[in-house]
Amino acid sequence: MSSKKVLDESLTRDIECIMISAAQLQARTQELGREISRDYRRLLGSALEENTPIAIGLLRGAITFMADLTRALSIPIEYDFMQPSSYGQSHEAGPLRLLHDLTQPVVGRHLLVIEDIVDTGQTLSYLKEKLLQRGAASVKLCALLDKPARRQQAVTLDYTGFCIEQDAFLVGYGLDYAERYRNLPYVAALKPQAYQGE
Ligand code: 5GP
């Protein structure tokens, strides 16, 4: 029996094209997992067990990537979540607020922030500063997707899955438009007419 599923037409009719296939996502996530595990082993050595890093997933877009990435790690890792204000129903950015915060203090902890996509850089530069102010021992930034041409605020990513050069609005593999498309197994560009005139 074939395991290939047919996606509902309502999920695919506004998709312009697939930008990153499920197989490419899988392969790159495994590579990142190996790289991140190696780096934390180098940084923490035998102290890794008492100094377990915390993966901080940014709700909601990063959870799919976080689930795959953390399972590709060969080191111990804890989970926590933050929710910066999202684009809501729109594809345009607005001012940043924190809708959900961490459930524990991070003083002296090593943090790996996991984001779906970096656009202007506002979210990650704000969060990194905030976490360092709270006394984190280190803050590393990992983003599945990066749109460097759109950057307004300098931010150095420690790990990047894929660089996106095209001017496209992306959905799938956790990323939404108006809360839809998160469960697509790939990353796709949305047809401009699907969000223009909103
Ligand atoms: P930044 O603060 O870097 O401007 O924005 C990052 C956030 O913008 C991401 O977490 C995501 O919510 C949203 N974003 C930016 N570009 C896209 C995109 O192409 N598709 C989707 N779905 N969200 C995006």
pLDDT of residue 86: 55
The domains of the chain are located at: 27-85+96-168
Looking at ligand 1, which residue's alpha carbon is closest to its atom 20? Answer: 170
pLDDT at 93 over 90: no
Residue range 160-185: mean pLDDT, rounded: 97
Provide the percentage of residues in the chain whose pLDDT is more than 90.
89
Fold annotation for 27-85+96-168: Rossmann fold (3.40.50)
DSSP the chain: ---PPPPPHHHHTTEEEEEE-HHHHHHHHHHHHHHHHHHHHHHHGGGGTTT--EEEEETTTTHHHHHHHHHT-SS--EEEEEEE---TTSSS-----EEE--SS--TT-EEEEEEEEESSSHHHHHHHHHHHHTT-SEEEEEEEEE-GGG-SS----SEEEEE--S---EEBTTB-BTTBSTT-SSEEEEPHHHHTT-
Residue 119 a catalytic site member: yes
pLDDT of residue 5: 86
**Cα(62) to centroid(ligand 1), Å:** 11
What's the pLDDT band for 3 if we cut at 50, 70, 90? low
List the catalytic residue out of 68, 116, 119, 146.
119
Q: What is the pLDDT of residues 110-146, one digit of tens each?
A: 999 999 999 999 999 999 999 999 999 999 999 999 9
pLDDT at 190 over 70: yes
Residue range 54-68: mean pLDDT, rounded: 98
pLDDT at 191 over 70: yes
